[in-house]
């Protein structure tokens, strides 16, 4: 596992305590799991994602990530409607490991409340949480 100071934690994202990240663009957002989360999971072998059009509240389970170590639930950091899922992950789930902020994104959503993103942690707060 990587030392915490070696993790890739982009400053333009918001982070949830469950290690999901959110990149907003107006009233929509892309969601994935952080470098820390993918590092803790180990090699990802399967990703289960919802169907487009599904509505989730903040903190609700929207899918699972299966690694060689465990199956972990994915929690939506804000409420919204799924507008896209990353189809690449069905054939290449390892993209969650190799590119957690790029090709390894999970879903795109239309935010129920765009202001809710501001309630998530910025990079510094997330890093402080990881360091305990």
pLDDT (average), residues 16-45: 97
Q: How far apart are CA 3 and CA 37, in angstroms?
A: 13
pTM of the full structure: 0.96
* Mean pLDDT in residue range 66-88: 97
**Domains defined for the chain, CATH in brackets:** 4-113 (2.40.50.100)
Specify the pLDDT at position 1.
87
Residue pLDDT, tens place only, 98-124: 999 999 999 999 999 999 999 999 999
Rounded percentage of the chain residues whose pLDDT exceeds 90: 97
Residue 96: pLDDT above 90?
Answer: yes
Q: What is the mean pLDDT of the chain?
A: 97
Question: What's phi and psi for 58, nearest 5 deg?
Answer: -55, 130
Name the CA dihedral angle for 101, 24, 84, 19, rounded to a multiple of 10 degrees: 50
Report residue 129: phi and psi, to 5°.
-65, -40
Using left for φ > 0, alpha for ψ between -120 and 50, and beta otherwise, residue 59 falls in: left
Tokens of 12: 């333009």
> Any idea which residue has 């935010």 for tokens?
111
Residues in Cβ contact with 12 at an 8 Å cutoff, skipping those fewer than 6 apart: 23
Are 64 and 72 contacting, i.e. CB atoms less than 8 angstroms apart?
yes
Q: What is the mean pLDDT of residues 42-53?
A: 98
């Amino acid at each position: 596992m990587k030392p915490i100071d070696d993790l890739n934690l982009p400053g333009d994202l918001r982070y949830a305590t469950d290690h999901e990240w959110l990149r907003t663009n107006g009233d929509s957002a892309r969601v994935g799991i952080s470098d820390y989360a993918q590092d803790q999971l180990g090699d990802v072998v399967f990703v289960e994602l919802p169907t487009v059009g599904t509505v989730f509240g903040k903190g609700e389970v929207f899918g699972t990530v299966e690694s060689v170590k465990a199956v972990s639930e994915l929690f939506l950091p804000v409420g919204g409607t799924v507008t896209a899922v990353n189809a690449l992950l069905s054939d290449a789930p390892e993209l969650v490991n190799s590119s957690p902020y790029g090709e390894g994104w999970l879903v795109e959503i239309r935010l129920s409340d765009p202001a809710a993103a501001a309630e998530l942690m910025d990079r510094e707060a997330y890093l402080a949480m990881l360091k305990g």
